[in-house]
Amino acid sequence: MHSDAFTEDDFNLVQLVFTLFRNLLAVQGLSPLQKASGTSTQFLYLAERFLEILFSEHVMELILVVTQYLSGSDGYLCQDNLLLLDIFHYIFLAQKPELVACPSQEELM
């Protein structure tokens, strides 16, 4: 991901996609009315399914690779470290640490 291989428009597109992911992950709060009406089950299912898709389609691996290139002060992505921090925050917000640390069933086989 060297700066000469990508244009500013390419980096803006990457930033736009990351912002979309962050905004989708940020929809976490349920109102008391939603909890009482039973729509929270569907909402929680959709949120969990979105995380499953991010991991199964290797989007999380891509985000980790991009995160490695943020340490330098040059380049277009140096401004996005807070955006990526927000993404990681919302991913791990409602997760149990022991479930995050243990390998999946596919990795055990």
Confidence band of 18 (pLDDT split at 50, 70, 90): very high
pLDDT at 5 over 90: no
* pLDDT at position 72: 64
Alpha-carbon distance values, 43 to 3, 46, 68, 89 (Å): 39, 5, 32, 19
Q: Supply 52's token pair.
A: 């499953």
Q: Tell me: the pLDDT tens digits for 52-89?
A: 898 899 998 988 888 887 766 566 667 788 899 999 88
Q: What is the pLDDT of residue 32?
A: 72
Q: CB neighbours (10 Å) of residue 22?
A: 19
Amino acid at 2: H
CA distances from 85 to 31, 43, 82 (A): 25, 23, 5
State what percent of residues in the chain have pLDDT above 90. 12
